[in-house]
Amino acid sequence: MSAALFEYLLRLGDNTLVLGHRVSEWCGVAPALEEDIALANTALDFIGQTQMWLAYAAEVEDKGRDADALAFRRDVWDFRSLLLVEQTNGDFGKTLMRQFLFDAFNVLNLTALVGSADVRIAEIAAKSVKEAQYHLERSRETVIALGDGTQESNRRMQKALDVLWPFAGEMFVVDAVDTEMQKAGIGPDLAALRGEWVAIIQPVLTSAMLTLPESDFAHKGGKTGVRHSEHLGHMLATMQFLPRAYPDAQW
Amino acid sequence: MYAQMIKSEATLDDPEKLAAFQARIDAGDKIEPKEWMPEGYRKTLIRQIGQHAHSEIVGQLPEGNWITRAPTLERKAILLAKVQDEAGHGLYLYCAAETLGVTRDEMTEMLLDGRMKYSSIFNYPTLTWADMGAVGWLVDGAAIMNQVPLQRTSFGPYSRAMVRICKEESFHQRQGFDIMMKMCKGTEAQKNMAQDALNRMWFPSLMMFGPSDKDSTHSVQSMSWKIKMNTNDELRQKFVDQTAPQAEYLGLKIPDETLAWNEEKGGYDFAEPDWDEFFEVLQGNGPCNVERIEARQKAWDDGAWVREGLMAHAEKRAALKEAAQ
Amino acid sequence: MSDLKKEWPLWEVFIRGQHGMSHRHVGSLHASDEEMAILNARDVYTRRNEGVSIWVVEAKHIGASSPDQKGPLYEPSNSKVYRHPTFFDIPDDVGAM
């Protein structure tokens, strides 16, 4: 049980860690100051959520590690983040489309987790879901505006959707860990969230004049750690540089 | 400072109006955007507030350089929050300048094509994590020294922006010093890193206040207009007096052999920075001038379709609303 | 200079804090429309938990008194000192009032 719970918490914490890192890469170079500030808020929310998820994961593991040790001292194959969140930022459109697809899932997942049988998870979810709802409101508005905006912005948003779509399906893939969590009343049935997720994104994409790709093909391997993208290793090389180069240092 | 070498613009206005304007300033009145003001006052302010805003925005880059490499989750959050504040401060200042009849986009273009400047300090590289400490401690420390009195500046929108900025900045210098303390109490390598950062940042920090008053021709007019509150040398002296004991507390050595307490003047004696280097940096020959402007230019160009897309959508929606009425 | 590109309009932002005070002007920002202006205001001006309600008004829609009218508009109230509590001398032995 605690092995599966640890694994499950890593999935939650690694998603926010990796996506928070990606979004923070925009700081100082966003298309407008207002967007720069908004993206930093999103990244800050994710870093805060990461601290909570990974701190709890470390407690459950009970091997003397803490949230920072989990974030900064694991290698690619130990990460349990979705392939979607480790995709590179690309242009602002790709970043916002990635954000929107994840936000819609995140709100549903966290809303379910608020009722988790695990009290700690329920508490973290209750705090996080409010942040996630705001993220979704903002990414939804931006996706609609840019999809509807100019020919150029529509073209870029459609391209972003096409590129990211094959990474969306992994959010709803259920494996043994998810099943065990569901049976224990800790986590939701991810497969069942898909319908609600489509109900959120479909009208938005229609307002945004975007076409949902037909293929249901989904890349897998991120949340199980079996096969991450090449991008993750480069991200970790940057992110983990200091703790790796100066293993004895306190920061 | 964030606004260095601001040239006061000449004013050709009616002497009577000028005298009445000066009387208002002397009486401590705030000047508001739609009120009469000398053309020189307006132009000087645009240049000064614009330069200050640009410094905040370009200043995001050297610190942003370490957000993705911050060594703990907490440090990452703190640094990101701080650099985000700088974007906010740039935004407040651009808005203040906009009340004087120039748009943010126009100011951005003037930054990119070199007609407007930003502080020399941001043309230096941040090479190690200790630089995040040194920048917060020294650069923000120097900035605060200038910004606190600017809350009393005569131009209302500028003064209000500075009040907000000062309130938010209070944690910036502390987080820098906190990093330095941790480094100095840490491993040998960390301590060396901290000393190295101080060695590189010390003189560029002193340069932030601008050249000595005896070479600064523009101070008099700006000071009588209360858009410059202290002389460069006053602030530099105050900065050294405040910082030297802090360095001692950290166990670091300020890279100036001549630095010594002068009982008689009640302040430290210290060496002048290399002003030739300062002027070279202003001319574009600092270590990072090219990269900084390139980064801003790229963000501006890459963001154009986003700004235009959002605007186009807003216009379509407004047209639909109108048609429905 | 930027005549071909349309700059996002300027908005004035008003925020009501948690303690029931009126909305207060906190500053300005740029946004393409009202919806984005509210979102941007939330991100720019409530980073430190400053507010629970946001108003945005496009700056061009703000009506403002003219600075030349400063005298006529505000000086009359200067002479109505009886509107201020300090106008009245209440003996100390009456207690707090």
What are the structural domains of chain C? 1-61 (3.10.20.520)
Residue type, A127: K
Domain boundaries, chain A: 2-245
Tell me the per-residue pLDDT of B203-236, one tens digit each, with 9 for 90 and over. Answer: 999 999 999 877 666 778 899 999 999 999 999 9
- What does the DSSP assignment read for A30-88? SSSHHHHHHHHHHHHHHHHHHHHHHHHHHHHHTSS--HHHHHHS--GGG----HHHHS-
Please tell me which of the candidates A24, A51, A91 has its beta carbon nearest to residue B80. Answer: A24
pLDDT at C76: 62
CA A117 to chain centre: 23
| Contact call for residues B133 and B179 (beta carbons, < 8 A) | yes
Average pLDDT value over all residues in chain B: 94
Q: Distance between the two ends of chain A, CA-based, in angstroms? A: 34
Please write the tens of the pLDDT for every residue from B149-183: 999 999 999 999 999 999 888 889 999 999 999 99
HSE-up (13 A, CA, CB side) for residue C22: 2
Query: Of all helices (H) and strands (E), which one includes residue A239?
Result: helix A230-239
Q: Using pLDDT thresholds of 50, 70 and 90, give the confidence band for residue C3.
A: very low
Per-residue confidence band for C74, with pLDDT thresholds at 50, 70 and 90? low
pLDDT at B302 over 90: yes
The amino acid at B196:
D
Interface check for B313 against chain A (CB to CB < 8 A): the answer is yes
User: What subunits make at least 3 CB pairs under 8 angstroms with A?
Assistant: B, C
CA distances in angstroms from B284 to B8, B201, B231, B279, B291, listed in the order given = 22, 18, 25, 9, 11
CB-based burial, B94-130: b 16+ in 10 Å, e otherwise: bbbbbbbebbbbbbbbbbbeeebbbbbbbbbebebbb
**Is there a contact between B187 and A246 if contact means CB atoms under 8 Å apart?**
yes
Is the predicted pLDDT of residue B25 greater than 90, yes or no? yes
Other residues' Cβ atoms within 10 Å of the Cβ of residue B29: 14
Contact between A14 and B73 under an 8 Å Cβ cutoff? The reply is no
| Placement of tokens 């609303």 in the chain | B321
Q: Grade residue B12 by pLDDT with cuts at 50, 70 and 90.
A: confident
DSSP B155: B
- In angstroms, what CA-CA distances link A25 with A40, A139, A184, A230, B84? 9, 17, 38, 18, 12
Chain B, 149-208: which have a CB under 8 Å from a chain A CB?
182, 186-187, 189-190
Instruction: Provide the pLDDT for residue B156.
Output: 96
C2 pLDDT tier (thresholds 50, 70, 90): very low
Q: Which of the four pLDDT bands, split at 50, 70 and 90, describes residue B7?
A: confident
| Location of structure tokens 């006052």 | B41
Other Cβ atoms within 10 Å of B239 Cβ, number: 22
Which chain A residues have a beta carbon less than 8 Å from that of B310?
142, 145-146, 149
User: What local confidence, expressed as pLDDT, does residue C69 receive?
Assistant: 65
Structure tokens at B242: 């405040």
The pLDDT of residue B241 is 97
Q: Which of A34, A38, A41 sits opposite C30 (nearest CB)?
A: A34
Contacts of B206 (CB under 8 A, 6+ apart): B236, B239, B240, B270, B272, B273
**What is the pLDDT at residue B206?**
97
Residue B185 has pLDDT above 90, yes or no: yes
Check CB contact under 8 Å for C40 and A38: yes
Any idea what DSSP says for residue C6? P
Closest C-chain CA to A38: C43
What residues 4-33 of chain A have any CB closer than 8 A to a CB of chain C? 32-33
Chain C neighbors (3+ CB pairs < 8 Å): A, B
Q: Which of B93, B100, B80 shows the shortest CA–CA distance to B54?
A: B93
* Separation of alpha carbons A77 and A89, rounded Å: 22
Residue A137: list chain C partners with CB under 8 A.
39
Contacts of B69 by beta carbon, 8 Å cutoff, 6+ apart: A238, A239, A241, A242, B129
CA distance B284 to chain C (A): 24
Distance from CA of B107 to the nearest CA of A (A): 13
Nearest-CB residue to A41 (from C8, C29, C43): C43
Give how far the C-alpha of residue B175 lies from the chain's centroid of Cα atoms, to the nearest Å.
17
**pTM summary value:** 0.93
Residues of chain C with Cβ-Cβ distance to B168 below 8 Å are 48
Amino acid at B102: V
B256-272 pLDDT, tens digit per residue, is 999 999 999 999 999 99
B232 vs B240: CA distance, rounded Å: 12
User: How far is it, in rounded angstroms, from Cα B60 to Cα B57?
Assistant: 5
Please give the residue of chain A at the shortest CA–CA distance from B312. A149
Q: Where do we find the tokens 């210098």?
A: B173
Task: Indicate the residue type of A138.
Answer: R
Q: How far is CA B222 from CA A86, A207, B140, B190, in A?
A: 52, 53, 23, 43
Tell me what pLDDT residue C1 has. 41
Helix/strand number for chain C, H first, E second: 2, 3
Query: Model confidence at C5, in pLDDT bands (50, 70, 90)?
Result: low
Q: What is the mean pLDDT of residues C23-36?
A: 95
Does the pLDDT at position C95 exceed 80? Answer: no
Disruptive mutation site among B311, B317, B322 for chain C (greatest number of C CBs within 10 Å):
B311
Q: Residues C28, C12: contact at Cβ < 8 Å?
A: yes
Stretch B76-87: mean pLDDT, rounded? 97
Task: Provide the pLDDT for residue C48.
Answer: 78
Which residue among A34, A138, A141 sits closest to C44, beta carbon to beta carbon? A34
Which residues, other chains included, contact B121 with Cβ-Cβ below 8 Å and sequence gap of 6+? B59, B139, B142, B204, B205, B207, B208
The burial of C60, by beta-carbon neighbours within 10 Å (0-12 exposed, 13-18 middle, 19 or more buried), is given as exposed
Which tokens is A88 given? 């590179």
- CATH class of the region A2-245: mainly alpha
Burial class (CB within 10 angstroms; exposed 0-12, middle 13-18, buried 19+) of C34: middle
* Residue C60, both tokens: 């061009």
Asked if this assembly's ipTM is beyond 0.95, the reply is yes
Report the alpha-carbon distance of residue B117 to residue B120 in Å, rounded: 9
Q: How far apart are CA B139 and CA A110, in angstroms?
A: 41
Sites in chain A below the pLDDT cut of 70: 1
* CB-neighbour burial class of residue A142 (10 A; exposed 0-12, middle 13-18, buried 19+): buried
What is the structure's pLDDT at C26? 92
What does the block give as tokens for B305?
A: 């379709």
According to the model, what pLDDT value does residue C75 have?
65
d(CA B304, CA A201): 26
The answer on pLDDT for B255 being more than 50 is yes
Which pLDDT belongs to residue C21? 84
Which of C35, C43, C47 is the closest to A34 by Cβ? Answer: C43
Is the predicted pLDDT of residue B37 greater than 80, yes or no? yes
In this prediction, residue B309 carries a pLDDT of 98
pLDDT for B196 beyond 80: yes
